[in-house]
Amino acid sequence: MTPREPWKPRVLRRFGRLLATAFALAYTALVMREVSGEFNARGAALVALLLYAVLSAFASWLSDRLGGAMLALASLVLASFVGVVAERNQLSAAALIGGPFLLAGLALLLAAGLHEEWLYGQEETGAEQ
């Protein structure tokens, strides 16, 4: 019988996936409501970036490493875009948009690393997988 994975990677994985999914859907709903009346180039770029964030959140449910890397990239791109486009409080806007995705991506990458470490420990002890 295979021993259960430790609690840290499981909690980090769930936290990262739920955080990414919640913020991706919330931001997408907010942006779609705002740009639905007047759709310009900025709105199209933001919608495309948020679509990438939604795809990254979906990828996090399939693979911790892939989803974490995609979310980290999404956070940097979104924060850069919003920081440039924002008329006031660029730093606050960039942190508010990119922060949750960066936190979720780092949590998923850390969970993947802890999971690999646990698997390596299982192989070392000769436990069945």
pLDDT in tens, 31-70: 878 777 777 787 788 888 889 999 999 999 999 999 999 9
pLDDT of residue 46: 82
pLDDT of residue 2: 65
CB of 97 closer than 8 Å to CB of 79: yes
- Cα 59 to Cα 38, 79, 93, distances in angstroms: 31, 20, 25
In a domain, 82, yes or no: yes
pLDDT of residue 129: 45
In a domain, 48, yes or no: yes
In a domain, 111, yes or no: yes
| Tally of structural domains, the chain | 1
Average pLDDT estimate for 4-8: 80
In a domain, 1, yes or no: no
Average pLDDT estimate for 66-92: 90
Which of 20, 25, 18 lies closest to 101 in space, CA to CA?
20
Whole-angstrom Cα distance, residue 93 to residue 13?
26
Q: What is the value of pTM for the model shown?
A: 0.84
pLDDT of residue 28: 86
CB of 21 closer than 8 Å to CB of 105: no
In a domain, 81, yes or no: yes
**Domain around 106:** 7-125
In a domain, 102, yes or no: yes
In a domain, 79, yes or no: yes
